[in-house]
Amino acid sequence: MLEQAAHDFSLDLARSYVIGDSVRDLEAAHNAGAKAVLVLTGYGKDTLEALKSKASDIRAHFVAPDLLTAARWITQDIKVQHENPHH
């Protein structure tokens, strides 16, 4: 689905973010090469606990208590990327 959206809308998935509350969301981000943001709303708290107890490469780049905090982090991350394009 992410690859289709990238194709349809000319998105660069390596510069994209996926916000979600499930392991599946984080896996989708990982598989697409996007940054994963876990929100603790919905299933997010259970997902965080599952990730702590699961031996997996799947991790969130940021864990946010809510969608607004996630959006603010993404905005800041984009700003940092523009200021330091080689990081």
Indicate which CATH number applies to the domain containing 22.
3.40.50.1000
Number of separate domains in the chain: 1
pLDDT of residue 4: 84
Count Cβ atoms below 10 Å from residue 66 Cβ, excluding itself.
12
CA distance 54 to 70: 23
61 vs 10: which has the higher pLDDT: 61
Q: What is the Cα–Cα distance from 73 to 67, expressed in whole angstroms?
A: 10
pLDDT at 68: 98
- Coil vs helix vs strand at 62: strand
Closest to 3 (Cα-Cα) out of 29, 40, 25 = 29
31: containing domain: 2-83
In this predicted structure, what is the pLDDT of residue 86?
67
Beta bridge partners of 17: 35
